[in-house]
Amino acid sequence: MLLDVPYSQPPVPLRSLDLYAPQDNAPGTPPPLFVFVHGGAWRSGDKHELDALAQGVVKRTGFAVALPNYRLSPREPTPGRDLYHPAHCEDILEALEALYKYELPVENIRDLYDASQIHLGGHSCGAHMLSSIFLDSSAVTPSLRPSDGLLSSVQSITVSEGLYDLDLLLNTFPGYRDFVSGAFGDLASYKQFSTTGYKELKAGIRWLVIHSKGDELVDMAQSWAIYEALTSRGARVVREFERLDGKHNDVFGEAEYTQIIGFRRDVGSSINRQDQAREVSVQG
């Protein structure tokens, strides 16, 4: 386990990641990499809170796991003390590019993971960040375009309890305007930032959309919105809206969560066989 590895130069607070690697990996066969982006309404949360999740994924799958932090919007923005979208996403993209290019101050880093096999996960606003980067938001945020190499290496994206359609979110939860405006500015509409309107950048990425029945902070309409948007564009997408019943910030503590996002190295870039079977039933 490597903690607080800087992914930017010069090092900047919060622009760092934790890296977990399996101890029993055979020499010369580095495992795939799973990168998980924490939530927290763009203004809170920390990678260290996901230690149990990372260790669970390593144990279950044999994958390496990276947990990046990113700069956060202040709870009370003031002139000169603010941070707006796409800055959070730019940090995550910088972390992903550094992981893909092995540009981290880590000895023998190429032995820890295979950068040609990257799987991504994001929770809550982390799901919005990943969908902003790996769906085509270039008309609004051209700085979020991943390199061709990184894009070709990403095999799957798992998003859980996500925020995607911001106007729909505010219609349902008007009180959320505080943190949405803190991250995106005080606007009449946030339609341009709703990732349900973005097309795929790369065909073939497998998307898994997860939502807990017990989520008290984000309603399932958000996950249905991104699932239906991806489906309508012909994306390879699976949904899982039944197996979890924990609260928004408690789903990581459920054994089911690690099982759902679990991968199998023997099926390469695919989500596990159970999810493959579910994709057939959902699409059929």
Whole-angstrom distance, CA of residue 282 vs CA of residue 201 = 23
Question: What's residue 263's pLDDT?
Answer: 62
Question: What's residue 27's pLDDT?
Answer: 76
The domain 2-283 belongs to what CATH superfamily?
Alpha/Beta hydrolase fold, catalytic domain (3.40.50.1820)
27-65, pLDDT tens digit by residue? 789 999 999 999 999 999 999 999 999 999 999 889 999
Question: What's residue 273's pLDDT?
Answer: 38
pTM of the model: 0.91
Average pLDDT value over all residues in the chain: 90
Domain boundaries, the chain: 2-283
Max avg pLDDT among 9-23, 79-93, 214-228, 250-264: 214-228
Does residue 280 surpass a pLDDT of 70? no
196-214, pLDDT tens digit by residue? 999 999 889 999 999 999 9
Does residue 103 surpass a pLDDT of 80? yes
78-95, pLDDT tens digit by residue? 777 899 999 999 999 999
